[in-house]
Amino acid sequence: MNRRHCAAAAITLVCALSLLTVPVQAMAAPTPDSTPSPSASAPSSPGPSSEKDLEKVREQIETLYRQAAAATDAYNLAEEQTKKQSGEIVKLAKAIVDGQARIAELKDRAGAQAREQYRNGGLPPGAQLVLSDDPQLFLDGVNKVRTSQQASKTVLAELNRTQEDLETYTQDASSNWHKLETNRVKQAKAKKKINARIASAEKLESELETEERARLRQLEQEAANRAQSAWLATRPVQDVEAISGEASAAGKAAIAFATAQIGKPYVWGATGPGSYDCSGLTMKAWAAAGRPIPRTSQEQWRLLPRIDIKDMRPGDLIIYHADASHVAMYVGDGTIVHSPRPGRHVTLAGAGSMKILGVVRPDK
């Protein structure tokens, strides 16, 4: 590696390290032009004029929050990847510094050997002894020559390996830096989308009268009750009894943690202790049980062992919606504990109150 390359690598490394702790800039609340399509935007009239209109508002709000949940998963995943890349860059930075120090040491050793050879007329001490008429000195000289040659070869071989490693570390640091920047861009885009969806949903709800907001809550509960009843109706009696079985020891610990958070507000991207998003709650609950799991609901669905819903037991995680954008913990008797959405708190709900994608078991 020539000096120009090392200098360029060092400059890149310093720039990377200087930005590792810089947070993603908060995005301003979106303008009306950046809000979702007309089907998900606020109605033009001051408020709904009938029960049918209010139900339509409820559906629009639900859609917006589901879109925000999907964007939250994208944000959380990008954040985890950013942390990982930052950690990798720090490790590579240390490896580069150590490698440079090792190269300097090896070069000093190689230089000392070269100077010693020069002082002895171009021959190492052992080679001079080979020329002696004394048989014992001759044999000693042969051994010293071999030892000296092997030492020189070892130093040169290690120097070459260290230089190659340093080149690899530099390339890896550059690659991880590009990945880090890519994930920062993903975070910013996801954050903008989250803010836009939540702002639109809040606008819709804010335009309702006090009585209408109370009725909206009732409609939400009624919709959840209908979905729960429909889900239970599709399950054979023996299945419902089976999925109320005994939790594992770890499952009980996870349930105890999750249910202790009931009443705490939903905040997207939050992992406690004062607030949670849906996957932040399940991740922390299972971490408390001694079983680390992925950060996002989509990664939990992708990476954790899947089980048939009829084999579900308390402590298992239920993944919801086709895009795996929501997760809850099953606590038994057809009930879940989850952090629903912005404006709501960690609560108990029916396991079938949302469309189930599947079930995973962290301690399988």
CA distances from 79 to 111, 138, 189, 192 (A): 48, 68, 12, 14
Active-site choice (5, 321, 326, 345): 326
- Cα dihedral 36, 40, 41, 44 in deg (nearest 10): 150
Active-site residue, 321 included: no
Kindly give the pairing relationship between strand 306-307 and strand 326-332.
unpaired
Buried-state track 127-151, b at ≥16 Cβ within 10 A, e below 16: bebbeeeeeeeeeebeebbeebeee
Distances (CA, A) of 228 to 258, 324, 349: 21, 19, 9
Please choose, from the candidates 170, 21, 13, the residue with its C-alpha nearest in 3D space to the C-alpha of residue 86: 21
The H or E element that residue 330 is part of is strand 326-332
72 touches 191 (CB < 8 A): no
CB of 280 closer than 8 Å to CB of 290: no
Q: Is 6 a catalytic residue?
A: no
Pinpoint the alpha helices (H) of the chain. Answer: 3-19, 51-119, 125-130, 135-206, 210-234, 237-242, 249-260, 278-288, 297-303
The whole-angstrom separation of Cα 73 and Cα 57 is 24
Hey, what amino acid is at 351?
A
Identify the active-site residue in 6, 15, 178, 278.
278
Q: Which residues contact 124 (CB under 8 A, 6 or more apart)?
A: 113, 116, 117, 144, 145, 148
The residue with tokens 């400059």 is: 11
Both tokens of 1, joined, read 């590696």
Write out the two tokens for 300: 């939990």
Q: Is position 338 annotated as part of the catalytic site? A: yes
Antiparallel, parallel or unpaired: β 347-350 and 356-360:
unpaired
Catalogue the active-site residues.
278, 326, 338
